[in-house]
Chain A
């Protein structure tokens, strides 16, 4: 049972480059979330989705885009990476209600 899987686990980008982070869940969950974790800041919600084809902004959405074309996948895109986007990114999913299951994280460094 894989749960929530994030790809890649590590990535180094140059400023201005683009990339997509993939989150896949095999629990048939409706709701999916992207968070970023920064030292001393806890986790902050970037974007979320309440179902296939839907997305919404969270607390810190600027500089990111998301897509939910399939129920099991939630993609987080950085169109033009900036050093301020250096962070650890976590994907989470939930079936209903706020109980969420988290992936193992993606450590992104923008130089």
Chain B
């Protein structure tokens, strides 16, 4: 079974500083990769996704992520964080078994704290 590891439970970053959130997956094939963000009391918003092609993907809100097959990683980055980026971030993997039936496997999340 696939698994997703987000090694950092909490990360604190100063406003304006750069950010990198780590995500590693364990899977037999290249999965579909996602990053979601969740603000307190809210649902999940898709930041970006990787299906195939260019391994550097751009998302909303100035985020990007890079897929590295050799490291089984899909790390999320942002060059300069804003206070509004404080939230919970989830990495997820999925597999298209011919119909998307398998659902997504999520990491346990990284809580991002922004210091003024």
Instruction: Please say whether chains A and B are actual partners in one complex.
Output: yes
Could you tell me which A residues sit within 8 Å of B by CB distance? 30-31, 33, 35, 40-45, 48, 50, 56, 58, 90, 92, 94-105
Give the docked Cα–Cα distance between A62 and B80 (Å). Answer: 43
Closest 3 CB pairs of A and B: A98-B94, A42-B106, A104-B43
List of A residues within 8 angstroms of B107 by Cβ: 42
Give the docked Cα–Cα distance between A100 and B46 (Å). Answer: 9
Give the docked Cα–Cα distance between A42 and B88 (Å). Answer: 10
Given contacts A96-B96, A97-B32, A98-B100, 9 further A-B contacts (CB under 8 A): A42-B90, A43-B44, A43-B92, A43-B104, A50-B99, A58-B103, A94-B100, A96-B100, A99-B46
Q: B34 to chain A: closest CB distance in Å?
A: 8
User: Does B25 touch A at the CB level, under 8 Å?
Assistant: no
List of B residues within 8 angstroms of A105 by Cβ: 42-43
Closest residue of chain B to A43 (Cβ to Cβ) is B106
- Report how many A-B pairs have Cβ atoms within 8 Å: 77
| Complex contact A40–B43 (CB within 8 A) | no
| Complex contact B96–A33 (CB within 8 A) | no
List of A residues within 8 angstroms of B92 by Cβ: 43
List of A residues within 8 angstroms of B96 by Cβ: 96-98
List of B residues within 8 angstroms of A30 by Cβ: 99-100
| Complex contact A40–B101 (CB within 8 A) | no
Give the docked Cα–Cα distance between A100 and B95 (Å). Answer: 12
Give the docked Cα–Cα distance between A58 and B103 (Å). Answer: 8
Q: B100 to chain A: closest CB distance in Å?
A: 5
List of B residues within 8 angstroms of A102 by Cβ: 36, 43-44
Instruction: State whether A90 and B103 are in contact (beta carbons under 8 Å apart), knowing that A97-B96, A98-B32, A99-B32 are contacts in the complex.
Output: no
Q: B74 to chain A: closest CB distance in Å?
A: 14
| Complex contact B100–A99 (CB within 8 A) | yes
Give the docked Cα–Cα distance between A29 and B30 (Å). Answer: 24
List of A residues within 8 angstroms of B54 by Cβ: none
